[in-house]
Amino acid sequence: MDLVLLATEAAETTGGGMATLLSLLPLVLMFVVMYFIMIRPQRKKQKEEEKMRNNIQIGDEILTIGGFYGRVVSLKEDALVIESASDHSKQKIARWAVQQNLTIHDN
C-alpha cells in the first residue's frame, strides 16, 4: 500500500509541474510571435538603413530626416557635408541623419 501511495504522490507532483509548464506555454508563444511580427522586421529595416548610409558616395542626392535635399560634397567617418541645390550653401550633417539616398547606383 505504501508503494501505491508513493506512486500516486509522485504522479501528482509531476502533474503539477506539467500544469505549470502548460500555463507558461501561451506566454512563451506570445513572445515568439511578437519577435517574428515586430522585432525581427524592425532589425532588418535598421540593417538596410545602415547599409544605405554606409554606401553613400560623393555626388549622391540625399534627403535628410529634417526634410532637406542636398548633394553630398564631402564624406567623413560619421559625418558628411551636403550642398543645397538652390543657393549652394554647405551644411555638415551626421551620417545617421540621412533618411534616403535618391541616387540610383548600379551594383
Give the residue ranges of the chain where pLDDT is below 70. 1-16, 107
pLDDT, residue 60, reads 95
Per-residue pLDDT at 17: 72
> Dihedral sign, CA of 98, 99, 103, 106?
positive
- pLDDT of 52 reads 93
% of the chain with per-residue pLDDT over 90: 64
Specify which residues 70 forms β-bridges with: 62
Q: CA angle, corner 73, sides to 70 and 75, nearest 5?
A: 110
The 3 state secondary structure assigned to 8-27 is HHHHHHHHHHHHHHHHHHHH
pTM score of the predicted model:
0.66
Q: What is the pLDDT of residue 65?
A: 95
